[in-house]
Structure 1
Amino acid sequence: MRLRKFLPLLLVAASVTTLSLVACRKSDSAPASARNTATVTTTLSGRILDENHNPVGGASVKAGNGTTTTNVNGEFTLAQVSVPASAAFVKVEKQGYFTGSRTLDVAAGREHYVSIELIPRRFVGSISATSGGTVDLGSGGSLRFDANGIITEADGAPYTGTVRIAAYTYDPTAANFAEVMPGALRALNSNNEERLLKSYAMVNIELEGAGGEKLQLASGKRATLTLAIPAGLQGTAPATIPLWYFDESKGLWIEEGSATKQGNQYVGTVAHFTPWNCDVPSDFVDYETVLVSGSTTASGIPIAQARVQLISAIGNGSMYTDNNGVLRLPMPINQRIEMNVFDRCNRLIHTESIGPFTASTSSTTYISNYYSATAVTFTGAVTNCNGQGVTNGYVQVLINGNIQRAAITNGTYSFLYPSCDSSVSALLTPVDLGANLQGATVTVTGRAGATASNALSACGQSSDQFVQFLFNNSAVRFQPPADSLIAWSYPGSQETYVYALPDAAAGQQQHNLALQLRGPFAAGAQTVLALGLTHNYLYYEMPVGGASAQISSYGSTHGFIEGTFSGTVRDSLGLNSFPVSGSFRVRRDN
Structure 2
Amino acid sequence: MITSSIKLKNIAFACLLGMSLAGCGSDSDSETKPANEEAMLQKNVSALVLSSTGNALAAAEIVIAGQTFKADDLGKAAFTVQIPKSATHVVVVFKKEGFISQSLRIDVGQLGQLSANLLHVKQTVSIAKIEEAQVIQSVYQNAQITIPENAFVLPNGQPATGAVTVTFTPWNIAGSDLNAMPANGVAQDAQGNIVNLISAGMITATFTNAAGQKLQLAAGKTADIQMDLPLESINNQKLLVGSSIPMWHFDEAKGLWAEEGVGQVVKAVTSATGLAVHATVSHFSTWNWDFKFVNAGSVFVQCKSASVAVPCHITAKVKLKDGSGLTKVNSISAEGISIINMPSEGSIEWTAKDITGTLIGEKTSATSGNVIIDLGAPTTKNFVKCELANGTAVACSGKLNGGIDFSLPKEGGNVLTGLQNVTQLNWEATSAPYETVSSVYQYKGNQVSGLTGDVKIILSTSEKLFDKTVYELLCKSPDPVFFCQVRLDGSFYSEVKNLSGSFLKSFTIPLDKKVKVYLPIPPAESVDSVWINAEAYIYRNGLENRKVVEVGMNSTLIQFDFNATDWCEPWKGDTTYPEPSEQNMNKYCWYEMPQ
Q: TM-score, normalised by structure 2?
A: 0.53
* CA drift at 1:498: 13
State whether structure 2 residue 121 is matched by structure 1 residue 114.
no
Query: Relative to 1, partners in 2 of residues 1:302 and 1:96: Cα closer, same or farther, differing over 3 Å?
Result: closer
State whether structure 2 residue 299 is matched by structure 1 residue 274.
no
How far apart, in 2, do the equivalents of 1:72 and 1:281 lie?
A: 37
State whether structure 2 residue 341 is matched by structure 1 residue 332.
yes
Q: Is the 8 A contact 2:304 2:375 kept in 1?
A: no
Q: Is the 8 A contact 2:128 2:164 kept in 1?
A: yes
* CA drift at 1:70: 1.4
How far apart, in 2, do the equivalents of 1:288 and 1:88 lie?
A: 27
Query: Relative to 1, partners in 2 of residues 1:49 and 1:293: Cα closer, same or farther, differing over 3 Å?
Result: closer
Specify the alignment match of 1:391 in structure 2.
none
* CA drift at 1:403: 3.4
State whether structure 2 residue 258 is matched by structure 1 residue 254.
yes
Q: Is the 8 A contact 1:67 1:78 kept in 2?
A: no
Superposition map of 1:98-109 within 5 A: 98-99=100-101, 101=102, 103=104, 108=109
Specify the alignment match of 1:236 in structure 2.
238
* CA drift at 1:157: 1.0
Query: Relative to 1, partners in 2 of residues 1:117 and 1:404: Cα closer, same or farther, differing over 3 Å?
Result: farther
Specify the alignment match of 1:139 in structure 2.
141
Q: Is the 8 A contact 2:301 2:336 kept in 1?
A: yes
Structure 2 SS opposite 1:130: coil
* CA drift at 1:169: 0.8
Structure 1 SS opposite 2:150: coil
Specify the alignment match of 1:561 in structure 2.
458
How far apart, in 2, do the equivalents of 1:162 and 1:326 lie?
A: 52
Query: Relative to 1, partners in 2 of residues 1:194 and 1:86: Cα closer, same or farther, differing over 3 Å?
Result: farther
Specify the alignment match of 1:70 in structure 2.
71
How far apart, in 2, do the equivalents of 1:353 and 1:168 lie?
A: 30
Query: Relative to 1, partners in 2 of residues 1:245 and 1:500: Cα closer, same or farther, differing over 3 Å?
Result: same
State whether structure 2 residue 63 is matched by structure 1 residue 46.
no
Structure 1 SS opposite 2:179: helix
Superposition map of 1:89-488 within 5 A: 89-99=91-101, 101=102, 103=104, 108=109, 111-120=112-121, 122-126=123-127, 128-137=129-138, 138-152=140-154, 154-174=155-175, 176-231=176-231, 233=233, 236-237=238-239, 239-263=243-267, 264-283=275-294, 291=302, 302-305=309-312, 307=314, 309=316, 311=318, 313=320, 315-327=325-337, 331-332=340-341, 335=344, 338=347, 346-348=360-362, 351-354=365-368, 365=370, 367=372, 373=376, 400-403=379-382, 485-486=394-395
**Could you list the runs of 5+ residues in structure 2 that have no partner in the other structure?**
12-22, 29-40, 268-274, 354-358, 412-426, 450-454, 463-595
* One-letter identity of the residue aligned with 1:126: I
Query: Relative to 1, partners in 2 of residues 1:93 and 1:341: Cα closer, same or farther, differing over 3 Å?
Result: closer
* One-letter identity of the residue aligned with 1:266: V
Which shows bigger deviation, 77-86 or 310-319?
77-86
Q: Deviations over 1:194-215 (max 9, x none)?
A: 1111110011111122443211
Query: Relative to 1, partners in 2 of residues 1:467 and 1:89: Cα closer, same or farther, differing over 3 Å?
Result: farther
Q: Is the 8 A contact 2:115 2:331 kept in 1?
A: no
Specify the alignment match of 2:57 in structure 1.
56
Structure 1 SS opposite 2:246: strand
How far apart, in 1, do the equivalents of 2:295 and 2:432 lie?
A: 48
Q: Is the 8 A contact 1:227 1:265 kept in 2?
A: yes
How far apart, in 1, do the equivalents of 2:117 and 2:432 lie?
A: 30
Q: Deviations over 1:267-286 (max 9, x none)?
A: 11001110000011144789
Query: Relative to 1, partners in 2 of residues 1:307 and 1:74: Cα closer, same or farther, differing over 3 Å?
Result: closer
* CA drift at 1:142: 1.1
* CA drift at 1:230: 1.2
* CA drift at 1:192: 1.2
Structure 2 SS opposite 1:91: strand
* One-letter identity of the residue aligned with 1:217: L
* CA drift at 1:293: 6.9
* CA drift at 1:260: 1.3
Q: Is the 8 A contact 2:432 2:442 kept in 1?
A: no
% same residue = 17
Q: Is the 8 A contact 2:171 2:177 kept in 1?
A: yes
Q: Is the 8 A contact 1:42 1:108 kept in 2?
A: no
Q: Is the 8 A contact 1:196 1:284 kept in 2?
A: no
* One-letter identity of the residue aligned with 1:253: W
How far apart, in 1, do the equivalents of 2:223 and 2:216 lie?
A: 11
Q: Deviations over 1:334-354 (max 9, x none)?
A: 845656666755445684543
How far apart, in 1, do the equivalents of 2:344 and 2:50 lie?
A: 32
How far apart, in 2, do the equivalents of 1:96 and 1:548 lie?
A: 16
Q: Is the 8 A contact 2:123 2:432 kept in 1?
A: no
* CA drift at 1:244: 0.4
How far apart, in 1, do the equivalents of 2:396 and 2:210 lie?
A: 24
Q: Is the 8 A contact 1:308 1:339 kept in 2?
A: no
Q: Deviations over 1:48-106 (max 9, x none)?
A: 3446755332221123454201112222234456599998644222223332x253766
Q: Is the 8 A contact 2:184 2:329 kept in 1?
A: no
How far apart, in 2, do the equivalents of 1:291 and 1:529 lie?
A: 37
**Could you list the runs of 5+ residues in structure 1 that have no partner in the other structure?**
1-28, 295-299, 356-364, 376-398, 406-462, 469-477, 502-519, 523-527, 533-540, 566-590
* CA drift at 1:166: 1.4
Q: Deviations over 1:524-569 (max 9, x none)?
A: xxxx99766xxxxxxxx44449x999x9x9865632638799xxxx
How far apart, in 2, do the equivalents of 1:78 and 1:87 lie?
A: 18
RMSD: 5.1
Q: Is the 8 A contact 1:289 1:328 kept in 2?
A: yes
Query: Relative to 1, partners in 2 of residues 1:87 and 1:187: Cα closer, same or farther, differing over 3 Å?
Result: farther
Query: Relative to 1, partners in 2 of residues 1:215 and 1:129: Cα closer, same or farther, differing over 3 Å?
Result: same
* CA drift at 1:116: 1.4
How far apart, in 1, do the equivalents of 2:74 and 2:117 lie?
A: 13
Which shows bigger deviation, 273-282 or 37-46?
37-46
How far apart, in 2, do the equivalents of 1:353 and 1:488 lie?
A: 31
Which shows bigger deviation, 72-81 or 196-205?
72-81
* One-letter identity of the residue aligned with 1:190: A
Structure 1 SS opposite 2:56: coil
How far apart, in 2, do the equivalents of 1:95 and 1:317 lie?
A: 23
Q: TM-score, normalised by structure 1?
A: 0.53
* One-letter identity of the residue aligned with 2:244: T
Query: Relative to 1, partners in 2 of residues 1:127 and 1:73: Cα closer, same or farther, differing over 3 Å?
Result: same
How far apart, in 1, do the equivalents of 2:297 and 2:442 lie?
A: 58
* CA drift at 1:184: 1.4
Structure 1 SS opposite 2:183: coil
Q: Is the 8 A contact 1:311 1:338 kept in 2?
A: yes
